[in-house]
Structure 1
Amino acid sequence: MKGEGGTRIAGAALGLSLMVRHRTRLGPEADGSADQLACCQTPGSPAGTAAVLLQRGREPHGDAVRLGRGGGRGEPPAGRERRRVMGSGGVSGPAEALLKFSTPRDPAALAAFINLRVLNPEHEQWRRGVEAAVIYTHEHGDLRVPFTYRVPEGEGAEGTGWPASLADFPLGQWTADARRFYARGDMGEDRVAQLEKLGMVWSHFDVAWEEGLSAARGWAAEHGRLLAPLDAAHQGYKVGIWLKNARAAARRAQDLEQRKAEGLPVQSRSGALSEERREQLENIAPSWCPTWPVEWQRAFHLTRQHLDEGGTLPTEAGDVVRQGEDLGRWVRAQRLGWEKLTTVQQRMCEHILGITPTTEHEKPKPRTSQADKWAMNYGAAKQFYEREGHLQVPRKHVEKITVSGNGGEDQEPRGIRLKLGAWVENQRSRAATLTPERIEQLSAIGMRWT
C-alpha cells in the first residue's frame, strides 16, 4: 500500500509539473483552474491523474471541494453556501498560494499537500500539525520541538516562512500528543510514517526530559528562578514534580561519585543524572539543586527579590508575605537558629540579605521543660516537709520558692509561687505512671500514697 501511495504522489506531482508547463504554453489568457488544465491533458496521463485527484480532494468536513472557479446553476445549495463562506476560489489561502503555478513551490510541501488533501484526506488539526512540523523541521533540522513551543505570529512570523494560517499553533503540545498516541498504539501506520519521515523521535525518556527541560526554562523565565514548589506547573506541565525528580537524580549522582572517590564499589548508575543534563539545568539557574532544602532557598530568593525592589528587611511574622511565604517569619527563624545554618548559608544571609544572629538580650526566654517543672515542685514539697515535718499539704496551698533567673548562675534570684497542694494530689493519683526514682524521692519526704 505504501508503494502504491508513493507512486500516486509521484504521479500527481509530475502531473502538476506538466500542468505548469502547459499553462506556460497557453499564455496568460488561459484560465488557471485545475478543471480546464486537466481537460488539456490526455486521459490517464500524469497530469490528468493529478487533475482528477485534485477534483476528488476533500476538506476535513467531508464535502468535495472544487479547486477551480466553478459553481454553475446546477451546483447544490450546500456547495453554494460553502463557496459563499470559503470564497469563490473554494480553497484556503495557503492551498491557493501553493497552487499558483506562476510562483516557485517547495517540492516537499507540494507532496505533503497532495498526500493530505487529495490521496489521504486528514482531520484539519492533523493537517495543520504536519504542515507546521514540515516547516519546523526545515528550519531546525529535526523535530525535537519544545513542549511550550508555539508557531510565531505577528511580527515574529515575518520572514520566517510561517503562514498566517498556522499562527500560534501549539506545535510542542501537538508533537507530545502524537508521541502519547504512538505509545498507546492508537496511531495509524500512515501517520507514523509521515512523522518518521520528518525525523520524529519516539523515545519516551529522551522526549520526557526535553519536555521537562523546556517547561523548567519557561517557569524560570517567568519567575526569575528555578526553585519551583512541588505543585508548580507551566502551561499544564507539572514542572515542580519534574524538578523534584531531577534533584533526586542529581543527589544520587553525587553519592555515586563520593563512593567512587572513597574507593567503594559502584554497581550501577541507574537513576543518576548525567553530567550533560546537569549542565543543562545549571545553564538555566546555577542554584537549581542546593544542598540545603529547596524551601529555604526559595524563601532566601524571595527575600532578596523584596530587598532589590526597595523593601526593608522584614523581622516579624506577617510583615511581608510573597507567593505564600511569610518572609518575616523566615528571617526571624534564621536569626534564632543561626547556629543550625551551614557556613555558606550564614554568609549568604549576612552579606546578601543583611541578616545577623540575635543577641542574648533578643533571644526569647527558654521554655521550662517538664523535668524542670517537676524538679521545682519537688523542691517546694521538700521545703514544706522540712518546715512542717510532714507532707499533708492542703489542696489549695500555694508554696513560694526562690530560684535563679532563667536557671543561670549569674542571674538574679526570683520568687515563684507554686500550687503545691494540687501538685501533691496529682502525684498521688498518678503513682502508677511515676518512675521508681521519683516514687523513692517523694516517699523520703513523707509522701502518703493512700
Structure 2
Amino acid sequence: MPGGGDQAAEAEGWPASLAAFPLGQWIADARRTYARAGMSPERVAQLDALGMVWSHYDVAWDEGLAAARGWAQEHGHLLAPTDATHQGYRVGLFLKNARAAARRAEENEQRRAEGLPVQTAAGALSQERRERLGEIDPAWCPAWPIDWQRCFHLVRQHLQAGGQLPTSPGVVVHQGEDLGRWVRAQQLGFDKLTGAVPPSASLTGFKSRSITASRARAPPPEPWTTGSTKTSSSMPRARACSRRRAGEMRVARPLSAST
C-alpha cells in the first residue's frame, strides 16, 4: 500500500484505513496458501474475479508462448535463433530455455523407463507444454543443433517455392541465413551425415544425389549428458523428437558454414 499517511493513500484511491496495510505480503501469503490447496473455492473465486495472478511462472510461460506463436506466424517455423525477438519479447531465449527443459524431461522419462532413479523433476518441461509448442511447429525441438534444423527448413522452403538449390555463398540469403553457404558445408561433409530422412524431406543436389537412408553409415550423434547421466543414449530422445515431427531426417554433425 502507498506510504505517506492517510492523505497519500486517499489521493491514490485507497481508503485511509488501509494506508499501512501490507498488501504485498498478504498476496504472497495467499499464493502460498493456494499452492498447497489450503484456500477455499469461494475465496479462490473472489480473488480470481479481481484478476489474481497465482503464479508469475505461469504468466511468464503464457507470455512466451504467445510470443512464440506470433514469431512462427511471421517466419513460418519455430526455429528462432537465440537473439530473436517478437514485439520486444526475447522469444529466441524463451525457446532455447524451453528446449533445454524439454530435453531434461525426456531424460527423466528415459531414466524412469529404464528403472533408474530421477533425482529431481525441477527444470523439466511438462508434457502439456511440450505439446503446446509442438502444435505451433512439430519440429521445434530437434535432437540436433537448432541452427542446422533452421537452415534445412529454409532450404526446403526455398525449393518448395520453386527455387533452385543454392550451392554458392551469397546467392540466397533468407531470414539472415546464407543458404548457399550451408548447402556447400553439407556437400563437403556429406559422409558425416547420420540418421534417416523420409523421401519428402530429401534435398537433391548433395553430391548429385538425395540425402537418403541408404547413406546412414556414420555413427549416431553423441548423447546428451547431464551430471547424473553421462552415458545415456540419445536415440530414445531422437525418436521422441522425430515422433513429434511426424518423421525423421538425417542430420550432419555440426559443420562450419565456412567449410
TM-score bin (small chain): 0.5 to 0.7
**Structure 1 contact 350–356 (Cα < 8 Å) conserved:** no
| Residues 115-148 of structure 1: per-residue CA shift (max 9 Å, x gap) | xxxx949xxxxxxxxxxxxxxxxxxxxxxxxxxx
**Structure 1 contact 349–355 (Cα < 8 Å) conserved:** no
Match of 1:210 among 45, 52, 62: 62
Match of 1:254 among 76, 97, 106: 106
**Is 1:276 matched with 2:128?**
yes
CA distance in 2, matches of 1:276, 1:196: 23
Gap change, CA 1:350 and 1:314, over 3 Å in 2: farther
CA distance in 2, matches of 1:228, 1:285: 11
User: What is the CA distance between 1:348 and its match in structure 2?
Assistant: 5.6
Match of 2:88 among 236, 244, 253: 236
| Residues 314-336 of structure 1: per-residue CA shift (max 9 Å, x gap) | 11222211122111111111122
Partner of residue 166, structure 2: 314
Partner of residue 72, structure 2: 220
**Structure 1 contact 212–242 (Cα < 8 Å) conserved:** yes
| Residues 78-123 of structure 1: per-residue CA shift (max 9 Å, x gap) | xxxxxxxxxxxxxxxxxxxxxxxxxxxxxxxxxxxxxxxxx949xx
CA distance in 2, matches of 1:357, 1:265: 46
User: What is the CA distance between 1:241 and its match in structure 2?
Assistant: 0.2
User: What is the CA distance between 1:267 and its match in structure 2?
Assistant: 2.0
CA distance in 2, matches of 1:315, 1:229: 23
**Structure 2 contact 156–201 (Cα < 8 Å) conserved:** no
Gap change, CA 1:348 and 1:322, over 3 Å in 2: farther
Matched letter for residue 354 of structure 1: T
Q: How does 1:336-351 map to 2 (within 5 A)?
A: 336-344=188-196, 347=197, 351=201
CA distance in 1, matches of 2:143, 2:51: 39
CA distance in 1, matches of 2:191, 2:115: 33
Q: Calculate the TM-score normalised by the size of structure 2.
A: 0.59
| Residues 10-41 of structure 1: per-residue CA shift (max 9 Å, x gap) | xxxxxxxxxxxxxxxxxxxxxxxxxxxxxxxx
CA distance in 2, matches of 1:350, 1:235: 34
Q: How does 1:386-401 map to 2 (within 5 A)?
A: none
- Bigger fraction of residues in helix: 1
CA distance in 2, matches of 1:299, 1:269: 33
Partner of residue 95, structure 1: none
Tell me which structure has the larger Cα radius of gyration. 1
User: Which ranges in structure 1 are unaligned for 5 or more consecutive residues?
Assistant: 1-118, 122-181, 184-193, 360-450
| Residues 191-247 of structure 1: per-residue CA shift (max 9 Å, x gap) | xxx985333324111111111001101111111100011111111110000000000
Partner of residue 207, structure 2: 357
| Residues 388-436 of structure 1: per-residue CA shift (max 9 Å, x gap) | xxxxxxxxxxxxxxxxxxxxxxxxxxxxxxxxxxxxxxxxxxxxxxxxx
**Structure 1 contact 232–240 (Cα < 8 Å) conserved:** yes
Matched letter for residue 53 of structure 2: V
**Is 1:327 matched with 2:179?**
yes
Matched letter for residue 334 of structure 1: Q
> For the aligned residues, what is the CA RMSD?
2.7
**Structure 2 contact 171–180 (Cα < 8 Å) conserved:** yes
**Structure 2 contact 79–150 (Cα < 8 Å) conserved:** yes
CA distance in 1, matches of 2:96, 2:112: 25
CA distance in 2, matches of 1:316, 1:350: 24
Match of 1:286 among 130, 138, 141: 138
Once the two structures are aligned, what percentage of the paired residues are identical? Answer: 66
CA distance in 1, matches of 2:175, 2:100: 25
User: What is the CA distance between 1:285 and its match in structure 2?
Assistant: 0.6
User: What is the CA distance between 1:352 and its match in structure 2?
Assistant: 3.3
Match of 2:154 among 302, 307, 324: 302
**Structure 1 contact 349–356 (Cα < 8 Å) conserved:** no
CA distance in 1, matches of 2:153, 2:88: 24
Q: How does 1:132-281 map to 2 (within 5 A)?
A: 197-281=49-133
| Count of matched residue pairs | 170
CA distance in 2, matches of 1:215, 1:338: 36
Which secondary structure does the structure 2 equivalent of 1:256 belong to?
Answer: helix
